[in-house]
């Protein structure tokens, strides 16, 4: 209580008036401890402050147990709404416009403040991965049967950030391998196994390959100059 009075006095001395009608309190801890703890009873300038289980700070929904379930729920709903709108008109939009829209309306939400909420559960990470996969397919105009490997992470390597990979149990060695994979200067350089190379060649030879190669790639069983390996 003394600390709160000091904050109120400091803000008043520096002409930073606190609005006690908009000021809230939140007790942070494990679910067991927060459930057993008595309600906070804090007053600011004679008014009892409301205790809440979740607060929104600079666009991030922070809950009292730091699970970030509410934030992921918000991101998933927002991304789904945006993807539904783009999906309705995707056939009338050129690929570059679809990619720009998906990057602006969807992928930015997946990246925003990821270092803060990266400690969320693996279940939530998988929910966000589903959003990313769907966004890729809407932007690139591919169907659900198109391999994720074949898409070559065209919208940006490693869209789910490094912090999220790490919290999901991915080792530092695996993260380093993925980053090297993303740095490859040409399409086939991103693949290693024979089956993966064959799958990528089939994709490059399709009508969907022009956004990578800039041209249709003839496949004759040999190497192509645009994809030396």
Q: Which pLDDT belongs to residue 84?
A: 93
Q: Is residue 95, in this structure, part of any structural domain at all?
A: yes
* For the chain, percent of residues with pLDDT exceeding 70: 62
Do both 81 and 155 map to the same domain?
yes
Q: Is residue 11, in this structure, part of any structural domain at all?
A: yes
Do both 124 and 173 map to the same domain?
yes
- Residues 68-81 have a mean pLDDT of 94
Q: Is residue 200, in this structure, part of any structural domain at all?
A: yes
Q: 124 by DSSP, 3-state: which? A: helix
Phi/psi of residue 72, each to 5°? -65, -40
Q: Closest Cα partner for 130 from 61, 48, 72, 71?
A: 72
pLDDT in tens, 177-206: 655 655 554 444 444 455 555 665 565 566
* For the chain, percent of residues with pLDDT exceeding 90: 10
- Residues 124-144 have a mean pLDDT of 83
Q: Is residue 62, in this structure, part of any structural domain at all?
A: no
pLDDT in tens, 30-52: 888 888 888 888 887 778 888 89
Do both 97 and 168 map to the same domain?
yes
Element holding 24 (H helix, E strand): strand 24-25
Q: Is residue 172, in this structure, part of any structural domain at all?
A: yes
pTM of the complete model: 0.62
Q: In this structure, are strands 60-63 and 54-57 parallel, antiparallel, or unpaired? A: antiparallel
Do both 139 and 197 map to the same domain?
no
CB 106 within 8 A of CB 82: yes
Element holding 203 (H helix, E strand): helix 194-204
Do both 102 and 128 map to the same domain?
yes
Do both 172 and 199 map to the same domain?
no
Q: Is residue 81, in this structure, part of any structural domain at all?
A: yes
**Count of domains forming the chain:** 3
Do both 154 and 86 map to the same domain?
yes
Do both 106 and 143 map to the same domain?
yes
Calpha distance 195→184 (Å, rounded): 18
Q: Which of the two residues, 188 and 163, has the higher pLDDT score?
A: 163
Do both 79 and 131 map to the same domain?
yes
Do both 47 and 102 map to the same domain?
no
Q: How confident is the model at residue 69 (pLDDT cuts 50, 70, 90)?
A: very high
- Whether residue 113 is predicted with pLDDT greater than 60 in this model: the reply is yes
Do both 162 and 226 map to the same domain?
no
Q: Is residue 22, in this structure, part of any structural domain at all?
A: yes
List the domain range (segments joined by +) for residue 222: 184-229
Least confident of 13-17, 153-157, 203-207: 153-157
Do both 92 and 156 map to the same domain?
yes
Q: Which of the two residues, 55 and 146, has the higher pLDDT score?
A: 55
Q: Is residue 59, in this structure, part of any structural domain at all?
A: no
Among 181, 203, 221, give the residue marking a domain's end: 181
């Amino acid at each position: 209580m003394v600390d709160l009075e000091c904050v109120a006095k400091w803000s008043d001395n520096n002409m930073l008036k606190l609005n006690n009608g908009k000021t809230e309190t939140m007790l942070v801890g494990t679910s067991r401890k927060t459930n057993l703890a008595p309600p906070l009873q804090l007053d600011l300038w004679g008014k009892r402050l409301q205790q809440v289980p979740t607060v929104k700070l600079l666009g991030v929904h922070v809950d009292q147990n730091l699970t970030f379930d509410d934030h992921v729920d918000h991101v998933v709903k927002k991304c789904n709404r945006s993807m539904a709108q783009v999906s309705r008109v995707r056939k009338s939009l050129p690929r570059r416009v679809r990619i720009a829209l998906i990057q602006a309306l969807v992928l930015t939400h997946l990246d925003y403040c990821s270092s803060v909420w990266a400690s969320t559960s693996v279940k939530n990470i998988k929910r966000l991965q589903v959003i990313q996969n769907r966004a890729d397919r809407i932007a690139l105009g591919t169907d659900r049967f198109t391999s994720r490997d074949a898409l070559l992470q065209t919208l940006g390597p490693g869209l789910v950030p490094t912090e999220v990979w790490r919290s999901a149990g991915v080792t530092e060695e695996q993260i380093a391998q993925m980053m090297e994979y993303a740095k490859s200067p040409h399409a086939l350089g991103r693949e290693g196994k024979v089956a993966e190379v064959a799958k990528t060649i089939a994709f490059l030879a399709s009508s969907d390959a022009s956004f990578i190669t800039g041209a249709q790639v003839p496949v004759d069983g040999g190497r192509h100059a645009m994809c030396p390996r």
